[in-house]
Chains A and B, each alone.
Chain A
Amino acid sequence: MKKIDSIYIIDDDPITVFGIQKMLESIVDCPCIDTFRNGKLAIDEIKSRIDTLKPIPKIIFLDINMPIMDGWQFLTEFSSLPITQSIKINIVTSSIDKTDRDRWKKIASNTHHTITFNNKPLRRENLLKITTAA
């Protein structure tokens, strides 16, 4: 099993969070899977990790529609952080709206982080691909 230090799941839907968590447990060896109900909580945690020189997550699963700070706002804030590594951010949404897809492409081409776009439900195979590439 591949070993990954830190994974974040940012989603306000507990069922999705449960699902991703459950599948990850059977795929990767990750001692530290953190979950957040919105973008704000996640970005605050990342900022504090940078400040305290703690390792930041390698893989992030990100929902779009969330209260307080949604996925797009999170991406904007995250991109502005001083992170030299390329972080793998996986958008997980039930939106099939073309404008969302276009927005993703635009953001993805403007950052050194790797951003993927995935529709719910996320399958085991998707997760395998994501984690092996990281």
Chain B
Amino acid sequence: MFARSTLYTNNYLIKQLPQAITFINMKGVIVLASDKWICDFSPMGDSCIGMSLTDLFSAHSEDWQLVLKRCLSGEPGLPRVGRYLDETGSEKWFELEKTAWHDDEENVIGWIVQGEKASQRMQNEVQLDKLHILSTEMSDIAKIGLWEYSLEDDELYWSEMTKIIHETAPDYRPTLEDATNFYKSGHSRNTIAMTVQRAIINQTPWSSKLQLITAKGNEIWVIVSGKPIYKNGEFTGLIGTIQNINSLTLSEIKTRENEYHLRTLIDNLPLNVFIKDLESRKILVNRSEMKYCGVTKESEILGKDDFEFLDKETAKKSRKDDLRVMHDLKPVLSKEMVHVKNDGSKTAFLTSKIPLINTDGSAYGLVGISMDITELKQKEEKLKKLISVTSKQNEKLLNFAHIVSHDLRSHSANFSMLLDFLTHEKDEIEKQKILGMLTSASDNLLETLDNLNEVVDISSKSGLEKKPIQLTKALRSVKQNLAMNLTKHNVKLFNKIDSKVFVNVVPAYLESILMNFLTNAIKYKSPNRRPEITLRTVSENGYTVLSIQDNGLGIDLDKYGDKLFGMYKTFHDTVDARGIGLYITKNQIEAMNGKVSVESEVDQGTTFKIYFSEKN
């Protein structure tokens, strides 16, 4: 044991040592410490004396405590350098060294612990280690490989990741030429060879996206970059990175391809396709839509709304639809709408609008698809007209077929009956009578066939050439033909037709029509009055309307109106009423795209109105 004076002397000496030194006893309690130690490690000044060293550092980081533990345990080989944070929070690096504390008799009575500021080298080593770990981690995560080429000894270094990217063995050591040959022959290999060459000559950095074929034969995309390195200002080689961007590039290529496909598709659709934002501004349009809006570049439409291209009313309606779709989040499908453009041109569209919905469930715009159905609508109109014409003709045909069937049947029934009688008849006189009837039946049949033939003729020759005919002139000629009849019945004929009136007709039909109506007027005259016939014309909705008014018997239209123009309908018990005239007349009028109507009152008279189409 020390004598007290010795200890004091020692203490005094130790206090003044320029190093941070502390003496601890076997229990680890601080017995002595240099002022430097107290300055470096004891925030509470010399009251640390008497504390255990472990307690003194107990508030410090685990790393530092580990350094202390390693120091005290005395195990060799382990670094005893660590980061020490003092009470002000500033960071210092220390190395703790421990040596045995002997008494006079060489007995170990404790330990001398020295805290030496770690040298720059040590610090650098530690930091380098860390950097190395960091960069390895980084290159692992980012799949970035490192490489370095030394010009001096023509040696190429590949990092682990670089080898992984190339799929080579971990101990693979390539030459510069080997490395170049990994690149796909053609563009990639030429590029890398030239680029490296240029970099060596010009000492320029570069970065290229190239394809290489790995040791296992896989084709991948990489970004390879390099830059010159210098030592003491002298160019010594190249250093760089290589990154596998295959999946990235492939998906990028795929995306670009998809986009191209979609773009080609929507551009070539015979539909107008557009996408609008919440304000109904167009943010995507296809070629058809551009064409419809009369622009050649997308930029002339993008960001603009319907008010720029359509008239106000149409644009308003369109905006209303847009708002509803985006509010209700429900698509509007195949809505028919006529768009009027600013220039007044009209287009019929079949439009569908589908809302674009965010992940939060709200709309951020809409996709619109419009089909131009203007032509279709026009065709539909034409078709409707055609159907109406066809159904009318069909009705006529059916009517005709009934007439034919009915008439021919009644004649053949008569033949059959009369022949039956003839076979069984014994009486000669009666036989002669039956034969006479047969002859008359045969005549009737022939007449019927003639009539039917005439009807067929009119219907099948509706394409007969029409000519403008002066109506009064045609009337004059008919009057001459009827002269005898007119005189016989003392008919007063009033011609109130302007001599300037011309009608577009088949001349023969016009004559037949006039003849028929005039004959009828005479035939069905009232026995109580002198027959009067008045003819007038007016122009009405594209027709020249000829009215033929008489003061004859009249027809009860409530009873016979629907049959008036039918075949073989007669309404008066007049002997020569055949019932075919009006049927033929109506057919002739219709064959010239005209129509006929009738007004009549029993015992007052009848007015027929014949509509001649003014169109050719």
Contacts and interface: CB of A to CB of B under 8 A. Distances in A.
Answer yes or no: are A and B bound together in one complex. Answer: yes
Interface of A: 13, 15-16, 18-19, 22, 37-38, 40-41, 65, 67-68, 73, 94-97, 119-123
Contacts of A37: 573
B29 to A, nearest CB: 131
Contacts of A119: 413
Contacts of B414: 13, 15-16, 19, 120-121
A74 to B, nearest CB: 13
29 contacts: A13-B414, A15-B414, A15-B417, A15-B418, A15-B437, A15-B440, A16-B417, A19-B414, A19-B418, A19-B421, A22-B421, A38-B573, A41-B573, A65-B406, A65-B568, A67-B571, A68-B570, A68-B571, A68-B573, A94-B409, A95-B406, A95-B409, A97-B405, A97-B406, A120-B409, A120-B413, A120-B414, A122-B417, A123-B420
Interface string B402-424: 10011101100110111011000
Contacts of B568: 65
B348 interface: no
A127 to B, nearest CB: 11
A67 B440 CA distance: 20
A71 B440 CA distance: 25
Q: Say whether chain B's binding surface is mostly helix, strand, loop, or mixed.
A: helix
B572 interface: yes
7 closest pairs, A vs B, by CB? A120-B413, A94-B410, A67-B570, A94-B409, A121-B417, A121-B413, A15-B414
B559 interface: yes
Contacts of B418: 15, 19
B572 A96 contact: no
B416 A68 contact: no
Contacts of B577: 67
A65 B566 CA distance: 12
A120 B573 contact: no
Contacts of B440: 15
A28 B420 CA distance: 19
Interface in B414-453: 414, 416-418, 420-421, 437, 440-441
A121 B416 contact: yes
Given A13-B410, A22-B421, A94-B410, 15 more contacts: A15-B418, A19-B414, A19-B418, A67-B570, A67-B573, A67-B579, A73-B559, A94-B406, A94-B413, A96-B409, A97-B406, A120-B410, A120-B417, A121-B414, A121-B416
Contact of A96 (B405, B441, B569, B579): B405
B512 to A, nearest CB: 22
Interface string B576-594: 0101000000000000000
Contacts of B579: 67
A22 B418 CA distance: 10
B402 A97 contact: yes
Nearest to B408: A94
A67 B421 contact: no
A42 B241 CA distance: 120
